[in-house]
């Protein structure tokens, strides 16, 4: 990423975001389930920020909170700022598809009753849009006749490529891709990532949500590591490429060590369920460095040019 891009205002800034769901237990008992807590993130023009973290860490919900597509029983606090403007629900709806595009995690987001071509270009496509649709279909090895198919007539891998195509040709300044590669063979997965890189190099901002930190640190500029609904580390992808010593949070280090090429050493224990979050540091029950102070509220702090939510990180 070029220096002038680093200095540019973020396209997206998420500040102290929390999301809880109003839930009903047995009988009439009600409670709030906090699934995202005090999460902050920013993405600048020209940049791919990857969000890595295990299943249930809140990656998709962050995307849904930015897009304004959370379910009715969700309560959101904190700020979502797009190009300097704080977004409310109405503004999110206005920007959806025109300024912010989502590649959803599930192929079930395709409209089952609309032909594929129409879903990609919109109902009233301009010549230019049709041209870019044809180009991107070619890159994704999607035959022209697929345009006339309905979603049930195409495979899961094709549907995934159609969803990525839709976001790419929408020409928005921010793209949030939620696990865009599962179901794709290696060639097509790499093509999708190459396309995201090209979009970023054109000056767009890309958020790439993925389980796969190995993939994330080869393509992204920065990586946000999520754990139990919050960011535990935000660092340059380069730090992940260099090795464990460059990382700051014990969970990021553990993720790194769990990679096959780094010894495949999984960490014992489980990510806590939202209903039973520990006090203070959410990683503390699994952390070898845990002390009494870890029970306090732990803010993000700057360490060696990155950000970490750990009082012991050096």
Ligand X SMILES: Nc1ncnc2c1ncn2[C@@H]1O[C@H](COP(=O)(O)OP(=O)(O)OP(=O)(O)O)[C@@H](O)[C@H]1O
Question: Which tokens hold the place of 3?
Answer: 């220096």
Q: Which stretch binds ligand X (CB under 6 A): 52-60, 115-123, 257-265, 290-298?
A: 52-60
* Residue closer to ligand X (CB basis): 20 or 284: 20
Closest CA to 251 of 280, 278, 287: 287
Q: Of residues 241-260, which lie at the interface with Ni ion (CB under 5 A)?
A: none
Q: Which does 278 bind (CB under 5 to 8 A by kind): Ni ion, ligand X, none?
A: none
Tokens 């496509």 correspond to what residue?
Answer: 125
* Residue closer to Ni ion (CB basis): 40 or 105: 105
Q: What is the dihedral of CA 98, 208, 181, 74, to 10 degrees?
A: -70
Q: Which residues contact 97 (CB under 8 A, 6 or more apart)?
A: 170, 172
Which x/- pattern over 208-237 shows residues binding ligand X (rule: CB under 6 A)?
---x--------------------------
Q: Is 35 in the site for ligand X (CB under 6 A)?
A: yes
Q: Which does 55 bind (CB under 5 to 8 A by kind): ligand X, Ni ion, none?
A: ligand X
Distances from the Cα of 67 to the Cα of 58, 106, 189, angstroms: 14, 15, 24
Q: Which residues contact 29 (CB under 8 A, 6 or more apart)?
A: none
Q: Is 69 in the site for ligand X (CB under 6 A)?
A: no
**CB 262: neighbour CB atoms within 10 A?**
13
Binds Ni ion by CB under 5 A, chosen from 57, 60, 121, 173 = 60
Closest CA to 44 of 71, 88, 84, 76: 84
Q: Which stretch binds Ni ion (CB under 5 A): 70-78, 101-109, 154-162, 218-226?
A: 101-109
Question: Which tokens hold the place of 104?
Answer: 């959803």
Binds ligand X by CB under 6 A, chosen from 18, 56, 149, 215 = 56
Q: Of residues 250-269, which lie at the interface with ligand X (CB under 6 A)?
A: none
For residue 171, the SS3 value is: coil
* Residue closer to ligand X (CB basis): 137 or 226: 226
**Cβ–Cβ < 8 Å for 172, 204:** yes
Q: Is 210 in the site for Ni ion (CB under 5 A)?
A: no
* Residue closer to Ni ion (CB basis): 18 or 54: 54
Q: Cα separation of 282 and 164, whole Å?
A: 34
Q: Which stretch binds ligand X (CB under 6 A): 53-61, 86-94, 140-148, 239-247?
A: 53-61
DSSP string computed for 66-115: HHT---TTEEEEEEEEETTEE--HHHHHHHBTTTEEEE-SSGGGS-TTS-
Q: Cα separation of 256 and 76, whole Å?
A: 32
* Residue closer to ligand X (CB basis): 19 or 193: 19
Q: Which does 199 bind (CB under 5 to 8 A by kind): Ni ion, ligand X, none?
A: none
- Distance of closest approach, residue 58 Cβ to ligand X, in angstroms: 4
* Residue closer to ligand X (CB basis): 273 or 289: 273
Closest CB to Ni ion belongs to which residue? 60
- Contact residues for Ni ion, defined by CB under 5 A: 59-60, 105
Binding footprint of ligand X on the chain (CB under 6 A):
21, 33, 35, 53, 55-61, 71, 105, 211, 274
């Amino acid at each position: 990423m070029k220096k002038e891009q680093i200095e540019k205002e973020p396209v997206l800034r998420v500040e102290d975001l929390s999301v809880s769901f109003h839930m009903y237990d047995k009988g009439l008992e009600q409670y709030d389930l906090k699934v995202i807590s005090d999460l902050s993130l920013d993405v600048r023009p020209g940049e791919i920020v990857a969000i890595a973290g295990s299943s249930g860490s809140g990656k998709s919900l962050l995307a849904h909170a930015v897009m304004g597509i959370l379910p009715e029983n969700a309560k959101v606090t904190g700020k979502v700022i797009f190009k300097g403007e704080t977004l409310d629900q109405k503004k999110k709806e206005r920007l959806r598809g025109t300024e912010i595009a989502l590649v959803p995690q599930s192929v079930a987001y395709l409209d089952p009753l609309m032909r594929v071509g129409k879903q990609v270009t919109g109902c009233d496509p301009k010549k230019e849009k049709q041209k870019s649709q044809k180009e991107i279909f070619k890159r994704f090895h999607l035959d022209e006749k697929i345009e006339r198919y309905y979603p049930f007539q195409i495979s899961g891998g094709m549907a995934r490529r159609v969803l990525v195509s839709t976001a790419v040709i929408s020409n928005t300044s921010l793209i949030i891709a939620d696990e865009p590669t599962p179901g794709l063979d290696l060639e097509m997965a790499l093509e999708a990532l190459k396309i995201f890189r090209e979009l970023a190099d054109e000056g767009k901002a890309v958020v790439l949500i993925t389980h796969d930190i190995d993939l994330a640190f080869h393509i992204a500029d920065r990586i946000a590591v999520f754990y139990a609904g919050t960011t535990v580390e935000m660092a340059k992808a380069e730090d992940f490429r260099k090795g464990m010593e460059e990382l700051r949070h014990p969970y990021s280090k553990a993720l790194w060590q769990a990679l096959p090429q780094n010894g495949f050493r999984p960490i014992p224990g489980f990510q806590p369920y939202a209903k039973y979050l520990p006090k203070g540091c959410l990683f503390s029950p699994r952390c070898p460095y845990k002390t009494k102070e870890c029970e306090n509220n732990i803010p993000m702090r700057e360490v060696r040019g990155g950000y970490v939510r750990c009082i012991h990180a050096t």
